[in-house]
């Protein structure tokens, strides 16, 4: 009898401790060795994920001239669209798993799967093989490592979070420069051939994956439960829900920029994260609409610099604003995963929609208008989420 009572008291005590832990405000070290190592891990993952996807244009051009020359361009484009879709939608799985088990349990096996997908791509020759290896497996493996790496950085920072995420996201910017140039040189100006060109990229990604898995860690207590009710409760948070739907519209126009992510991350701490995100989205929309009137190389260079900067700011700041809406650190992974899951539909449909508009109207202007308006509408909805979260507070 006494033993049963002691067991009951012990269970109640653990329950009370858990409840008190949930009620007490979370503390963040704002860096430290583990925190900045988590940034390094995220940098490596961003290099491998977004950076690799940014190079798909080189793959697409090569496929059109070699293996898939009998396929129409829109069919080949689906390989990249599926890769983007599965990369983001995989967050629906990896986000809650991150909250329950931490990052290493997910990232180690999934990083191996990602490198495997690259190596399998080097052996592909048929359309369905590229769809499965590069589009489906590559996208899923990317997404399963991407969300935990982002979430881990959020666990170590609050005040410095935009800057930390901005630094981490420069990995994809650098890769966006290196991968297209390296692939183009190896595929078209050497005797390596497709197989070994892709394998060399795979070995580079293997090295970065090892670094990421070795340095990533989490500062948040693991969730005892990942029940659907606790995860779906995030959608009852208006600031979270409105922001996710707005980024669905903005994502169509996103591009990478190293300086935008770095400077934007620092600026967000001064003028507010939502203010920075909404303002950059407005500028992206205006720039996209101005794209219609660009007629010279110099104008295109100016446009590329400006759009790259502000769209890079949008990409770098978005995870930080999502993390702000999570009640506890050990729920950031679930919030991030669900948000990226919604975003995956933008990655899947954005290119086909604009491509269909270009084909239908015989020019790029309708697609530019569509993209610009999407950014402006998305910025307005983000501003609505900002008001919901912070009211009339000036810096938010």
Of the candidates 40, 159, 151, 140, the one whose C-alpha atom is nearest the C-alpha of residue 98 is 151
In a domain, 18, yes or no: no
In a domain, 171, yes or no: yes
In a domain, 5, yes or no: no
In a domain, 396, yes or no: no
With beta carbons less than 8 A apart as the criterion, state whether 243 and 380 touch: no
Percentage of residues of the chain with pLDDT beyond 90: 22
pLDDT digits (tens, 9 = 90+) for 375-392: 898 888 888 888 887 777
CA–CA dist 155, 141 (Å, integer): 22
Our measurement of the distance from residue 352's CA atom to the centroid of its chain's CA atoms, rounded to an integer in Å, reads: 20
In a domain, 7, yes or no: no
What's the structural domain count of the chain?
Answer: 1
pLDDT digits (tens, 9 = 90+) for 302-313: 777 787 778 777
What integer pLDDT is reported at residue 25 of this predicted model? 57
Residue 179 vs residues 18, 159, 202, 294, 358: alpha-carbon distances, Å: 46, 33, 11, 28, 27
Half-sphere exposure of 352 (CA within 13 A, CB side): 16
Start-to-end CA span in the chain (Å)? 56
Residue-by-residue DSSP string for 351-387 = HHHHHHHHHHHTSSHHHHHHHHHHHHHHHHHHHHHHH
Sole residue written with tokens 């879709």 = 85
Sheet strands (E) in 165-306: none
In a domain, 15, yes or no: no
What integer pLDDT is reported at residue 11 of this predicted model? 44
What integer pLDDT is reported at residue 3 of this predicted model? 47
pLDDT digits (tens, 9 = 90+) for 174-221: 887 788 888 888 988 889 999 999 999 999 999 999 999 999 998 877
Of the candidates 83, 68, 28, the one whose C-alpha atom is nearest the C-alpha of residue 351 is 83
With beta carbons less than 8 A apart as the criterion, state whether 118 and 83 touch: no
Q: Which domain holds residue 247?
A: 32-221+229-390
SS (H, E, C) 169-183: HHHHHHHHHHHHHHH
Across 312-327, average pLDDT: 75
For position 111, which CATH number holds? 1.20.1250.20
Best mean pLDDT range from 44-58, 251-265, 333-347: 44-58
With beta carbons less than 8 A apart as the criterion, state whether 51 and 171 touch: yes
Best mean pLDDT range from 39-48, 91-100, 218-227, 290-299: 39-48
Tokens encoding 252: 């169509």
Tokens encoding 45: 């993952």
Give 274's contacts (C-beta < 8 A, 6+ positions apart): 321, 382, 383, 385, 386, 389, 390, 396
Residue 61: Cβ within 10 Å count: 16
């Amino acid at each position: 009898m006494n033993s049963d009572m002691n067991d009951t008291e012990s269970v109640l005590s653990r329950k009370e401790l858990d409840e008190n832990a949930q009620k007490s405000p979370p503390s963040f070290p704002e860096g430290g060795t583990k925190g900045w190592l988590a940034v390094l891990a995220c940098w490596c993952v961003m290099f491998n994920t977004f950076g690799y996807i940014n190079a798909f244009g080189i793959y697409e051009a090569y496929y059109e001239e070699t293996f898939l020359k009998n396929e129409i361009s829109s069919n080949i484009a689906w390989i990249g669209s599926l890769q983007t879709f599965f990369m983001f939608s995989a967050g629906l799985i990896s986000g809650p798993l991150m909250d329950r088990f931490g990052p290493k349990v997910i990232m180690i096996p999934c990083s191996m799967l990602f490198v495997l997908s690259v190596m399998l791509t080097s052996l592909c020759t048929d359309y369905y093989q590229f769809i499965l290896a590069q589009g489906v497996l590559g996208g899923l493996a990317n997404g399963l490592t991407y969300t935990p790496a982002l979430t881990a950085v959020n666990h170590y920072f609050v005040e410095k979070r935009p800057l930390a995420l901005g630094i981490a996201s420069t990995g994809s910017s650098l890769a966006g420069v290196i991968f297209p140039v390296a692939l183009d040189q190896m595929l078209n100006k050497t005797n390596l051939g497709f197989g070994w060109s892709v394998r060399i990229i795979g070995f580079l990604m293997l090295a970065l994956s090892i670094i990421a898995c070795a340095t990533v860690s989490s500062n948040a207590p693991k969730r005892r439960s990942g029940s659907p009710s606790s995860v779906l409760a995030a959608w009852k948070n208006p600031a979270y829900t409105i922001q996710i739907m707005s980024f669905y519209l903005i994502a169509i126009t996103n591009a990478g920029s190293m300086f935008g992510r770095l400077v934007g991350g620092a600026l967000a701490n001064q003028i507010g994260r939502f203010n920075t995100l909404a303002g950059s989205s407005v500028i992206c929309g205006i720039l996209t609409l101005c794209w219609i009137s660009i007629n010279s190389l110099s104008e295109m260079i100016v446009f590329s610099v400006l759009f790259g900067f502000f769209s890079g700011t949008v990409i770098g700041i978005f995870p930080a604003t999502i993390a702000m809406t999570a009640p506890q650190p050990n729920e950031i992974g679930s919030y991030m995963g669900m948000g990226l899951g919604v975003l995956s539909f933008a990655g899947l449909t954005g290119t086909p929609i604009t491509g269909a508009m270009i084909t239908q109207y015989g020019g790029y202007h309708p697609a530019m208008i569509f993209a610009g308006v999407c950014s402006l509408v998305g910025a307005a909805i983000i501003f609505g989420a900002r008001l919901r979260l912070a009211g009339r507070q000036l810096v938010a």
